[in-house]
Chain A
Amino acid sequence: MIAFSNVSLIYPHSTKTILEDLSCEIAEGEMVLVMGETGSGKSSLLRLINGLVPHHTGGILAGDISVNGISTRSVKPGALAHLVGIVGQNPISGFVTDIVEEELAFGMEALNVPPETMRKRVEEVLDLLSLNSVRNRSISTLSGGEQQRVAIGAALVMHPRVLVLDEPTSALDPIAAEEVLSVLHRLVHDLSVTVIIAEHRLERVIQFVDRIIYIEGDGSTAIGSAEEILKNAELVPPIVRLARVLNLSEIGTSVRDVRRLTEDIRGREFLSEPTLPVERKPAINISHISISYEGHIALKTATATIGAGEIVAVMGRNGAGKSSLLHSIVGLLSPHSGNVLVNGIDPQTLQGAARRRAIGYVPQEPSDLLFKQSVEAECAQADHDNEIAPGSTFSLLNRLVPNIALSTHPHDLSEGQRLALVLSIVLSGNPEILILDEPTRGLDYRAKSLFIKALQEFASTFNRPVVIATHDVELVAELADRVLFLAEGEIVADGSTLDVLLSSPAFAPQVSKVMSPKPWLTVADVVNSLSSL
Chain B
Amino acid sequence: MKRPLHPLTLWLWAILLAIGVVAADSASVALVVVGAAAIIVWVRADGSAWNKSFALALRVGALILVIRTVVGILIGVPIPGTTLFRIPILDLPSWMPGIRIGGAVTLERLSSSIHEGIIIATLLALFGAATSLTSPHKLLRVMPYFIYEIGITLVIAASLLPQIASSLRRIRTAQKLRGIELRGIRSLALPLLEESLTRSLQLAASMDSRGYGVSRKRSRYRPIRWKSEDSLVIALTAGLSIAMMISAG
Contacts and interface: CB of A to CB of B under 8 A. Distances in A.
B159 A95 contact: yes
Contact of A355 (B170, B177, B194): B177
Interface range on chain A (Cβ under 8 Å from partner): 35 or more
Nearest to B196: A93
Majority-rule SS of A interface residues: helix
B49 to A, nearest CB: 13
Nearest to A332: B173
A149 to B, nearest CB: 16
Interface string A165-179: 000000000000000
A101 B202 CA distance: 21
Given A96-B159, A96-B207, A363-B173, A369 B219 contact: no
B51 to A, nearest CB: 19
Interface in A76-103: 76-79, 81-82, 84-86, 88-90, 92-98, 101-102
A10 interface: no
Which of B202, B206, B214, B217 has the most CB atoms of chain A within a 10 A radius of its CB?
Answer: B206
A363 B171 CA distance: 9
Given A96-B152, A369-B178, A115 B221 contact: yes
Given A371-B187, A385-B179, A78 B220 contact: no
Interface in B127-186: 152, 155-156, 158-159, 162-163, 166, 170-171, 173-179, 181, 186
Contacts of A105: 221-222
A110 B221 contact: no
A411 B170 contact: no
B208 A370 contact: no
A359 B211 contact: no
Nearest to A91: B206
Nearest to A103: B159
A305 interface: no
A338 B221 CA distance: 51
A111 interface: yes
Contact of B209 (A50, A115, A332): A50
A527 B124 CA distance: 80
Given A119-B221, A411-B194, A93 B213 contact: no
A111 B215 contact: yes
A111 B214 contact: yes
A82 B211 CA distance: 8
Contacts of A139: 159
Contact of A96 (B186, B198, B203): B203
Contacts of B202: 88-90, 93-94
A63 B221 CA distance: 40
Nearest to A370: B191
B207 to A, nearest CB: 7
A96 B156 contact: yes
Interface string A325-339: 001001010000000
B204 interface: yes
Contacts of B158: 98
Contacts of A101: 221
A11 interface: no
A454 interface: no
Closest 3 CB pairs of A and B: A81-B211, A94-B206, A105-B221
Given A115-B220, A332-B177, A369-B191, 11 more contacts: A77-B209, A78-B213, A86-B206, A90-B199, A92-B199, A95-B159, A97-B155, A109-B218, A352-B181, A354-B179, A367-B191
